[in-house]
Amino acid sequence: MSKTDATAPNQLANDLLAPADGPLAADAVVEPRSLKRDAVLTLGALGVVFGDIGTSPLYAMRETVLATGGTVPGHAAIFGALSLILWALIIIVTLKYVTLIMRADNDGEGGVLALATLAHRSPRLGRRIKTMIGFGAIIGLALFYGDGMLTPAISVLSAVEGLTIGSRTFEPLVIPLTLAILVALFLYQSRGTARIGRLFGPVMIVWFAVLSILGISWIIRAPIILTALNPWYGIALFVHEPWTAFVALGSVVLAVTGCEALYADMGHFGKAPIRAAWFFVALPALVLNYFGQGASVLLNPHRAATAFYSMGPSWAHYPMVILATFATIIASQAVISGVFSMTRQAVQLGQLPRMEIRHTSMSDFGQIYVPRMNAGLLIGVVLIVLIFHSSGALAAAYGIAVTGVMVIDTFHVSLVAARQWHWGVKLAVAVFGVLGLIDVTMLLANLLKIPQGGWLPLAIAAGVFLVMETWRLGRRVHLERIRNDSLPMNLFLERADKTPVRVAGTSVFLSARNDIVPGALLHNLKHNKVLHERVIICNVTVEDTPIVPAAKRLEVQKLGKGFFNVRIHHGFFETPDVPAALAQARPFGIVIDVDTATFFIGRETLVPAEHSELGRWRTWLYMQLAANALSPARFYHLPPNRVVELGTQVSI
């Protein structure tokens, strides 16, 4: 794993991912490797990591065959669709993500933000490239939120629609039942995923076993379908019907959704368990089932629209619907958990306002609940189901967000390969240039879906991007205005002796910068005309690593005259707890009793400046975001009975 000095400047944060108030947590404990532990992690990876991609057979083959069957003869459409899906699984998931991108771990963590910070640390990168990395991270995160809303909707809806196959009796219940399942799932989030998490692995083992059995049963009936292993059938589509094949790529991508979740969850399970789960369980089961669906449709062309559910015997239909529903709930849960995790990283890196982040497990650090984001996802998912009504209609909206993140991941990992793996520019361009070309082709094919619903993930991503950019720019202007209106620390220290009264005790002032006097300190001095005998100026810094070791957690600088500058370093994957960090300052020659210390924070009232750098509408939006941000006292876990808030007015 690549390491970085936690005290090094966070260049990515300075450029585009500027840290806001950030988190803190105890160091992760690395348990020794064991066969039993790896087996448990592999089982967990099956449930969490592969929930999304594991439920793709519900709709991917159906949509791909229907996309090619309009102008291509039946057998050619089936063999071509199968070939494209198979080689997409091999090239995009197996080669690019499981083999290559998972090598690019940021101290064991993955995901678009973790990869961006890792790429940003690459040596000999120009300013323009670093800017592109930062914008790529923001756009990737915005697209990931769009995917987070679409995945639960299309997954659960496609499973419940199985009730209508062969009978229209249950058709009026599809939408209400889908909404009931989704609402219950989101309401359950506040209780944590520990309980349902214990079911993830076993249920998905059953799911993948059923996929394999169904696939084998139909492959035996039409073994000729195995000839679709030959990539020529996919190539032949492009040779004879290039436009049809290009359009079909927009449906092929449905088979590889979940790649970003696979990479983002690497920190929870590790590379080896995820790779083992993919190569020995998920990939074989998916290939067998897709080829079984191909054999079923080859023998019964009229079943193309119900390719998955038509594979099972009639007596097993409703049990299959129930199992598929459980599997799609698990897939939805995995995406929701991923959104929570990415939100935490975005908050720590200053890309989103402070939000309440609850830990729902005493033993699993990764299990968190973000109430505000959960509510937003619930509203979005319900609206999506009510707007599109069917998984077929949603398939037209699905794919743009996924392929967009793929393109960004490929760009970022190419920089890591060239500069950190020592591949050199030529080899990195050769390998990732080909992979990037595939990603871009799939993205362009999905852009054709914009009139049919593809506008939805783009609209969601655009809204998220607007909020993130407004917060980033507004935060920069906000802090710059505070700096310009503040007194330099060195000048203040020269006059500190003129303070009339120094009272016993310790005061802690939170500050975004350590070179200026916090506004709360000046207001306290102005109104109360006293200073504590020991004054701590506390600054929290977000590093571009997931976790900062305890040895590098604190920096303490003695300023003289009873003043100390304490800088707390933490990673973007950690949880804020300023009192816990200050309690560890004894080795630096300063003992801070957090139970008796007084914590001063500023409560700023923002007013629009006469000529704001942000513009009128963006200033209004930033003010709304700032007003609804979580209080620093709660975000930093300050003791409620030891906090003093002092108000001030800032024009931006």
Distance CA 341, CA 193 (A): 13
Asked if 24 and 577 touch (Cβ cutoff 8 Å), the reply is yes
Q: What is the pLDDT of residues 324-360, one digit of tens each?
A: 998 888 888 878 888 888 888 888 888 889 998 887 6
Task: Kindly tell me if the per-residue pLDDT of 27 is higher than 60.
Answer: no
**Facing residues of 647 across strands?**
603
Q: How confident is the model at residue 31 (pLDDT cuts 50, 70, 90)?
A: very low
Q: How confident is the model at residue 65 (pLDDT cuts 50, 70, 90)?
A: confident
Query: Which backbone phi and psi does 583 adopt, to 5 degrees?
Result: -65, -15
Res 255: pLDDT: 92
pTM of structure: 0.82
> Which of 438-452, 473-487, 495-509, 568-582 is predicted with the least confidence, judged by mean pLDDT?
495-509
Which residues neighbour 327 within 8 Å (Cβ) at sequence distance 6 or greater?
51, 54, 55, 159, 203, 204, 207
**Facing residues of 649 across strands?**
605
Q: How confident is the model at residue 11 (pLDDT cuts 50, 70, 90)?
A: very low
CB atoms closer than 10 angstroms to residue 24: 23
Res 392: pLDDT: 81
In the predicted model, what is the mean pLDDT of residues 126-140?
88
In the predicted model, what is the mean pLDDT of residues 465-480?
89
Q: How confident is the model at residue 6 (pLDDT cuts 50, 70, 90)?
A: very low
Asked if 579 and 594 touch (Cβ cutoff 8 Å), the reply is yes
Task: Kindly tell me if the per-residue pLDDT of 96 is higher than 90.
Answer: yes
In the predicted model, what is the mean pLDDT of residues 214-233?
94
Percentage of residues in the chain having pLDDT higher than 90:
29
pLDDT, mean over the chain: 84
Q: How confident is the model at residue 71 (pLDDT cuts 50, 70, 90)?
A: low
Res 652: pLDDT: 80
> Which of 255-269, 411-425, 514-528 is predicted with the least confidence, judged by mean pLDDT?
255-269
Percentage of residues in the chain having pLDDT higher than 70:
91
Q: How confident is the model at residue 7 (pLDDT cuts 50, 70, 90)?
A: very low
> Which of 6-15, 62-71, 435-444, 555-564 is predicted with the least confidence, judged by mean pLDDT?
6-15
Q: What is the pLDDT of residues 264-275, one digit of tens each?
A: 777 767 788 889
Strand order in the sheet with 531-542: 554-560, 563-570, 531-542, 502-510, 598-607, 643-651
Q: Which amino acid is at 375?
A: A
The segment with the largest mean pLDDT, out of 190-204, 282-296, 583-597, is 282-296
Return the residue matching tokens 């990395």. 133
Asked if 192 and 384 touch (Cβ cutoff 8 Å), the reply is no
CA distances from 332 to 51, 164, 181, 282 (A): 8, 22, 11, 17
> Which of 332-346, 357-371, 506-520, 630-644 is predicted with the least confidence, judged by mean pLDDT?
357-371
Select from 385, 388, 338, 400 the least CA-distant residue to 366.
338
Q: What is the pLDDT of residues 608-627, one digit of tens each?
A: 887 878 888 898 999 999 88
Please list, residue by residue across 253-288, b when 16 or more beta carbons sit within 10 angstroms of its beta carbon and e when fewer do.
bbbbbbbbbbbbbbbbbbeebbbbbbeebbbebbbb
Roughly how many angstroms between the first and final C-alpha of the chain, as a whole number? Answer: 42
**Facing residues of 109 across strands?**
106
Q: How confident is the model at residue 213 (pLDDT cuts 50, 70, 90)?
A: very high
Per the model's pLDDT, the better-predicted residue between 499 and 335 turns out to be: 335
Q: What is the pLDDT of residues 189-212, one digit of tens each?
A: 877 655 555 667 788 899 999 999
Return the residue matching tokens 């993948």. 208
Distance CA 246, CA 513 (A): 53
